Structure 1
Amino acid sequence: MTLDTVKHAESTPDTEQPYRELGLKDDEYQRIRQILGRRPTDAELAMYSVMWSEHCSYKSSKVHLGYFGRTTTEQMRSKMLAGIGENAGVVDIGDGWAVTFKAESHNHPSYVEPYQGAATGVGGIVRDIMAMGARPLAVMDSLRFGAADALDTRRVLPGVVAGVGGYGNCLGLPNVGGEVVFDPSYLGNPLVNALCVGAMRVEDLHLAHASGTGNKIILFGARTGLDGIGGVSVLASDTFSGDETTAGRKKLPSVQVGDPFTEKVLIECCLELFRSKLVVGIQDLGGAGLSCATSELASAGDGGMAIVLDRVPLRAKGMTPAEILSSESQERMCAVVRPEDVDAFMLVCAKWDVTATEIGEVTDSDRLVITWHGEVVVDVPPRTVAHEGPVYHRPLERPAWQDTVQAPTALTRPSTVELRDLVLRMAASPNLASRRWVTDQYDRYVRGGTVLAQPADSGMIRIDEETGRGVAVSLDSNGRYCKLDPYQGAKLALAEAYRNVAVSGATPIAVTNCLNFGSPEDPGVMWQFEQAVRGLADGCVELGIPVTGGNVSFYNQTGTTAILPTPVVGVLGVIDDVRRRIPTGIGAEAGETLLLLGTTDDELGGSEWAHVVHGDLSGLPPRVDLAGEKLLAEILRSGSRDGMVSAAHDLSEGGLAQALVEACLIGQVGARIFLDPDQDPFVQLFAESTGRAIVAVPRTEELRFTDMCTARGLPWRKLGVVDPESAALEIQDIGTFTLDELRTAWEGTLPALFD
């Protein structure tokens, strides 16, 4: 084989190279030549192509993502130990504990190969948490598919769910919550967003940098293979053609293949290495593989790096340097280790039967130099690969159709006598039906630290067994709201995730995100993206909590049809003692008072009712009042701390009717509900006004709790009472629903579709 070494590249400037096939634009290729003062070698071209991809470089989103940093105040940063730009955000939760969490997308690979695409998405986000020095504690997932009865949804969804469950279950990590949403816009482009949360002592925080001349670079974990060549880095940086056949998919880069048992051992190995203080810097190998790990470590360090590529353990014969550098084989980590610690590092890896190889060292130069059998195949300034890629100021323009879609359609509303049937129809609709068919495939309680999990509003994990300190986390978004108004839609996603954490009794303290949009080359999509970023950032300022990191996923469209703009927002909350948690389902104590907190307005634009009954998307989404959300959270926290609240459930999609159905079924008790005679029963039951929650309050605490709400200015209304003797939900003037009747409607939909 003739190697395209640096020396050969210098002497053959006119050699044609397949840069377009690798996703590089003409001007990007010319810029690489200017940086190097010559044409790139094949290996260098591979590195730049994957690292300058949309997925890795954020070249279309950087100019907008900077708004997060510009709006984050010092007070918001005060508890943040690591933020945007690191593998994951880290926050101080007190008592010497730090928690790290982040969400990532694996959308395109999950369409091509649902099981492995979803499985390796979980594996990748877990390694991001490991790379911060933390033990991964739990995962969540936010999933979106085409119409529930579509043929391709039946291909994709079972594989994705099996992949998420299979990988997480084998790792021994509980899956504590998330979303499953159906909408025709996701047909051909499902969204698979995975979140992981981990914990560590504050002093154990690790960052990704290669510092200290002479320190060694050690690659450890699985061997490098041909799977995932250009995988997520290239796959997530272009649109699908619309050819959903097997032949159409064969043209795409291969999807990574995961081995959760290897990753489980890798987790334990990493934790022992951290405890033994044997690691100076560490980086996981995910998107762009070794290209990313070497260039980012060197770029963030204080020198250069020299890598001997032929030392990399391979599991395929005949791999070229370009393939080795671009491979996204899973379960691999790259560490910077002091020379005197190398032997101890290797002993720990041997103990856990983890393959570990010294592949290079930190140098005092400003270059990343990679050799292959003695010849230099890469000689680049690492920052130009990792952090100084293209930055695009893409054209953005408010779509011409925006005014049209915001004009409300005159939809026929049901009469009062039709509301009983509507409650059941809505409860059985795909987006509101029970997710039990999905979550029963996940282990929610492995490790014994799970305090709350699906179908609770948020997942809660105990961090410290001695004190009971824990964290709650929620993932939320509503693409329909965001299409109607992306600025308000992003705020609404933030508000719902914040509220879901608050109703558990936890205090929301930090945000992560996964921003899923269509092609950035569409000015309308870029306008949606810019508006959503500003909405999320401005909302965080109002709530006083920072964005600690996240992910951008562009090119989520098939042909010219983009998905609904879907900024998925994750909120992390902390609770001093998980024994004070507030459950979602109402309890069995007869006579407990049910209160509705917040104000209900005639807000049905983009609602689940409009979607299910009329197939309509028009009007304006609900008004968002983040000051009201903050007050609601404070009231719920006080109620939790003082033992005044025995259950709480937020109101969101489907409104009050859906919240009542879920609260009764989760708690397995009945209730008697009294509607406000001065307001339209339909609006009361199905409007999706924000800042609302149902709470169950012991009779002995009712006056104290309502006095607190009144004094703090939080609207409340007595909604009804818990009635476990009836085993039914009775809504005055609407009808009585037995729990068996409700359960049949709520739990029957997904099994009927996918079993």
Structure 2
Amino acid sequence: MGGRKSVPKREPSAAEIADQKLYREMGLSDEEYARICEDLGRRPNYVETGIYSVMWSEHCSYKNSKPLLRLLPTEGPRVIQGPGEGAGVVDIGDGQAVVFKIESHNHPSAIEPYQGAATGVGGIIRDVFSMGARPAALLNSLRFGSLSDRRVRYLFEQVVKGIAGYGNCIGIPTVGGEVVFDDAYRGNPLVNAMCVGVTEHEHIQKGVAEGIGNAVIYVGASTGRDGIHGATFASEALDEDAEGRRPAVQVGDPFTEKLLLEGCLELIEKGLIVGIQDMGAAGLTSSSVEMACKAGNGVELNLDLVPQRETGMTPYEMMLSESQERMLLVVEKGREDEVRAVLDKWELNMAVIGRVTGNGRLRLYHKGKEVCDVPVHTLVDGAPVYVRQGSVPAYYKENRDVNVNRTLETDNWEMALKQLLQSPTIASKRWVYRQYDYMVQANTAVQPGSDAAVIRLRGTGKALAMTTDGNGRYVYLDPRVGGAIAVAEAARNVVCAGAEPLALTNCLNFGSPEHPEIYWQLEESINGMRDACLALQTPVIGGNVSLYNETEGKAIFPTPIVGMVGLVHDVSHTTQQAFRRPGDAVLLLGETFAELGGSEWQHIREGKPSGRPPQIDLEKERRVQQVTLRAIQRHLVRSAHDLAEGGLAVALSEACIGNGLGADISLESSLSVTECLFSESQSRILLSVDGHKVDEVIALCAEWDVPVARIGTVTERGKPLTITVNGQTAVTEDVRTLTDVWEGAIPCQMNRSLTS
């Protein structure tokens, strides 16, 4: 029989072997490198390979997540700018807009926690003021391992110091956030930073390099070697060599950032800017090529003109450096001196480093030689996109039919409540936020510690409520349900503050999408978020995807974080979670089910989530939120508090602790006492109401088909929190004791010897 003649396999040349070693070290696959060669019609040089590697990293290109992100709703009647710019923009009436975004700085914070957290704050601030908005507030969402671990305590302490150090120095209040502790984050903490700003419609900016011949101007701190290949580092799993990659972590200077903020805002107010973008991930590379691509243009840059703080920097280093406090501007040709006059006043570096071209190419020159010539679109729109196939994890199938409630029963409910209140995830975060200057700018109306923070809009009768939220345990047990709950709970938080939810930004923290089970978690959670966004009419206006959150092959819990902003139409509607007046009636909106899977009580008892998480009916959620908001706006409500981790017993305790008042609560339920007190069923809100207005609230609930029960009365200071269930006294505890337990938990842990 005849056969096809075999062709000898050609051995790669020495040059090809060297190329392969280089591009693999930079994070490119063999297939991606081949595609670059095809796009260029030649092999890329060293500088070009580095530029492709950062622009095609997950952090910059979203090559694994882009198809899924398209599932999210991004439009709405108030949306002015959705995803695609530095931050999203939402109309808030009267010619004003709110600008906000959340981003991750997880990997840098894992190896250099102070600077990792600080520069995460600095970067998100630049994203907001690059849109023409003055930053008004900062929030964060943090995840760490158990505080019993010495290194976790160190990371927690330094991350908080880094956030405080940057925000306090620049003069922007850090008004809210959340902190969760679970061993799933022991090796890979999550540090997500959010910034909210306000602007006038006419000052909204975009990052576009428009106008052929216009000047490309570098502004801010000089370029150093810090942060080189930071975008690629953020797109890899952590391993035992991570500590050796400290140069990938940037170093921040909030004092320079303050000058940069003021200088850029003045340029915007004077109409001197055509386009502006932060030199964030991938530094000068991403800012220049993204601005050019959005305008359909090219750019030429002379790297000899780039301000450098270190001698002998190469083109590769200058283009990939992620040094902080730098912006790239495009300015009309001939107006450079006007720009210089403003920046000189603010003592800012400025250099005209290039021009906008019409050839659609990135061309770089150094010492009289061309060192890069590539089509811009291949770096941005031409980046590879991977549509992967997910697979359902075995644990998910096993958990579906597990009934965990029976193993979580207890008959010592007072002790259980104290254990919950001293759990670091539920305990007071005063140790954290007392380090933040949350009153600077004098606009903070609701301080950290309530369901949502509120800042007044000076010169108006309005305010903004804002929060961050997410529950990785729920998402782990059921990604679609957990994704929906993240959106719903964030919206519920701002509603409890008296605000209409406007829109959200998200940060999707997951393991490697190359693992089918992780990709399934990502896809399902995005579907759940989409479901909730559509039901609650809260579009996604931007955010960040942080993948490869793994340490030595072990992934974190899938953790989508939602940053939500709401509009308080009248500051008199502003509401907090603490009971305010003895004699007020206590009402519970919504229904309680036997749902302890993924709960904080389960975490305390068993250490890991199992079973099914709380389920959510999004139509019921919508009605509960609408009723609550209308009741607040009609001045029928004294306090409102979302039921979340720890369930009803914890919510009642927190409402009492706020002003030191007691409460006498009586519950009727077919559930066990444990389920009744600690279930984390969704779509529930605790209200306190003047006794004369109870009937109006109940009638409003009936109109909206929302279950409501009058469960008790607020009592005087010095009175206990008493809870009876079906006539059986479950809890009778002095509020001062509960307060001490709740407030002392984290300081007690942090005061432990670092050698223990």
Q: TM-score over 0.5 for the alignment?
A: yes
Counterpart CA distance in 1 for 2:251 and 2:432 is: 22
From 6, 16, 19, give the equivalent of 2:19.
16
The one-character-per-residue Cα deviations of 1:91-111 (angstroms, maximum 9, x if unpaired) are 111111111111100000000
> Paired residue for 1:744, among 736, 740, 743?
740
Secondary structure of 1:441's counterpart equals coil
CA deviation after TM superposition for structure 1 residue 614, in Å: 2.1
Aligned-partner residue type, residue 554 of structure 2: T
3-state SS, counterpart of residue 24 of structure 2: coil
Residue 752 of structure 1 aligns with an amino acid whose one-letter code is: C
- Aligned position for 1:501: 494
Tell me the CA shift for residue 250 of structure 1.
1.1
In structure 2, the residue matched to 1:237 is 235
User: Structure 1 residues 565 and 43 mapped into 2: Cα distance closer, same or farther (>3 Å)?
Assistant: same
Cα gap change, 1:297 to 1:248, in 2 (>3 Å): closer
Hey, what's the Cα distance between the residues in 1 that align with 2:378 and 2:461? 46
Aligned partner of residue 136 in structure 1, secondary structure: strand
Alpha-carbon separation, structure 2, partners of 1:387 and 1:719: 57
> Take 1:248 and 1:517, find their aligned partners in 2: how far apart are those partners?
18
Deviation at 1:644, TM superposition (A): 0.6
Picking from 53, 56, 79, the partner of 1:52 is 56
Q: Is 1:222–2:221 an aligned residue pair? A: yes
Find the partner of 2:749 among 746, 750, 753.
753
Three-state SS of the structure 2 residue aligned to 1:27 is: helix
Is the partner of 2:147 in helix, strand or coil? coil
Q: Indicate conservation of the 8 Å contact 2:669/2:676, yes or no.
A: no
Deviation, 1:174, is 0.9
The structure-2 alpha-carbon separation of the partners of 1:475 and 1:415, relative to structure 1 and needing over 3 Å to count, comes to closer
Cα distance between partner residues in 2 of 1:178 and 1:196: 11
Q: Which residue of 2 aligns with 1:5?
A: none
- Tell me which residue corresponds to 1:34: 38
User: Does 1:590 find its partner at 2:579?
Assistant: no
Relative distance call for 1:248 and 1:540 in structure 2 (3 A) is closer
Cα distance change of structure 1 residues 248 and 496 upon mapping to structure 2, 3 Å threshold: closer
Which position in structure 1 is the counterpart of 2:718? 726
**Cα distance in 1, alignment partners of residues 477 and 409 from structure 2:** 27
**Other-structure match for 2:249:** 255
Of the candidates 436, 450, 460, which is equivalent to residue 442 of structure 1?
Answer: 436
Q: Is the 8 A contact 1:671 1:721 kept in 2?
A: yes
8 A contact 1:152–1:188 mirrored in 2: no
Q: Does 1:329 align with 2:323?
A: yes
Partner-residue secondary structure (3-state), 2:53: helix
| Corresponding residue number in structure 2 for 1:545 | 538
Give the match's secondary structure for 2:318.
Answer: helix
Alpha-carbon spacing, 1:401–1:417, altered in 2? closer, same or farther (3 Å): closer
How far the C-alpha of 1:438 sits from its partner, in A, is: 0.8
Corresponding residue number in structure 1 for 2:591: 599
Aligned partners of 2:147, 2:400: CA distance in 1, in Å? 26
Which amino acid in the other structure matches residue 34 of structure 1? E
CA contact (8 A) 2:405 2:595 kept: no
1:292 aligned residue (265, 286, 292): 286
Q: Post-superposition shift, 1:341?
A: 2.1
Partner of 1:358: 352
Match of 1:374 among 368, 386, 389: 368
Matches within 5 A, 1:314-463: 314-410=308-404, 412=406, 417-463=411-457
1:67-106 to structure 2, matched below 5 A, reads 67-68=71-72, 71=73, 76-106=75-105
Equivalents in 2 of 1:418, 1:235: separation in Å? 48
The 1-side partners of 2:392 and 2:629 are apart by 40
**Residue 70 of structure 2: SS of its match in structure 1?**
helix
Q: Secondary structure at the match of 2:658?
A: helix
Q: Is the 8 A contact 1:60 1:520 kept in 2?
A: yes
Matched, 1:471 2:464: yes
Please give the secondary structure, in 2, of the residue aligned with 1:723.
Answer: strand
C-alpha contact (below 8 Å) 1:13/1:39 kept by paired residues = no
Deviates more, 1:265-274 or 1:701-710: 701-710
The counterpart of 2:47, out of the listed 43, 46, 49, is 43
Question: For 1:619-630, what aligned pairs fall within 5 Å after superposition?
Answer: 619-630=611-622
Structure-2 separation of matches of 1:219 and 1:225: 14
Who is 1:528 aligned against?
521
What are the within-5 Å matches in structure 2 for residues 562-641 of structure 1? 562-587=555-580, 589-641=581-633
Distance 1:129 1:224, change over 3 A: same
Secondary structure of residue in 1 paired with 2:610: coil
Instruction: Check whether the contact 1:510–1:548 (CA below 8 A) recurs between aligned residues.
Output: yes
Question: d(CA) in 2 for partners of 1:378 and 1:667?
Answer: 64
Question: Which secondary structure does the structure 1 equivalent of 2:206 belong to?
Answer: coil
CA distance in 2, matches of 1:168, 1:251: 26
Paired letter, 1:193: N
- 2:300 is paired with a residue whose SS is strand
The count of aligned residue pairs is: 732
Counterpart contact for 2:660–2:717, Cα < 8 Å: no
The DSSP-based 3-state class of the residue aligned with 1:487 is helix
SS for the counterpart of 2:713 is strand
**CA 1:493–1:415 in 2, change beyond 3 Å: closer, same or farther?**
closer
Contact 2:392 2:517 in 1 (8 A): yes
The corresponding residue for 1:203 is 202
Identity of aligned residues (%): 46
Separation in 2, partners of 1:219, 1:747:
48
Match of 1:140 in 2: 139
- Contact 1:174–1:444 (CA under 8 A) maintained in structure 2: yes
Match of 1:692 among 684, 688, 696: 684
Partner residue of 2:673 out of 681, 685, 710: 681
Per-residue CA distance 1:513-547 (angstroms, 9 max, x = gap): 00000011101000110111111112211112211
Q: How far 1:63 moved relative to its partner?
A: 1.4
Amino acid at match of 1:236: A
Structure 1 ranges of 4+ moved more than 4 A: 12-15, 409-417
Look up the match of 2:11.
none
The question of whether the paired residues in 2 share the 8 Å contact of 1:57 and 1:389 is answered with yes
Q: Distance in 1 between matches of 2:593 and 2:390?
A: 33
Shift of 1:254: 2.5
Mapped to 1, the partners of 2:94 and 2:440 lie a distance apart of: 25
Q: Find 2:552's aligned residue among 531, 553, 559.
A: 559
Match of 1:190 in 2: 189
Contact 1:416-1:734 at 8 Å conserved across structures:
no
Q: Cα gap change, 1:15/1:691 in structure 2, threshold over 3 Å: closer, same or farther?
A: closer
CA distance in 2: counterparts of 1:470 and 1:207, whole angstroms: 25
Contact 1:494 1:569 (8 Å CA) reproduced: yes
Take 2:513 and 2:703, find their aligned partners in 1: how far apart are those partners?
A: 48
The equivalent of 2:12 in structure 1 is: none
Output one character per residue of 1:98-129: Cα deviation in whole Å (capped at 9) or x when no partner: 11111100000000100000000001111110
Q: Distance in 2 between matches of 1:415 and 1:286?
A: 50
Cα-to-partner distance string for 1:621-644 (whole Å, 9 max, x where unaligned): 111122222212222222222211
Q: TM-score, normalised by structure 2?
A: 0.95
Q: Give distance in 1, aligned partners of 2:601 and 2:487.
A: 22
> Shift in Å at residue 151 of structure 1?
2.3
1 CA distance for matches of 2:669 and 2:601?
A: 22
Note if contact 2:593-2:671 (Cα within 8 Å) is conserved in structure 1.
no
Q: In structure 1, what is the equivalent of residue 301 of structure 2? A: 307
**After superposition, what is the alpha-carbon deviation per residue over 1:167-191, rounded to whole angstroms, capped at 9, x for unaligned?**
1111111111111111111111000
Q: Give the 3-state SS of the residue equivalent to 1:67 in structure 2.
A: coil
Q: What displacement does 1:409 show?
A: 4.8
AA in 1 matched with 2:324: Q
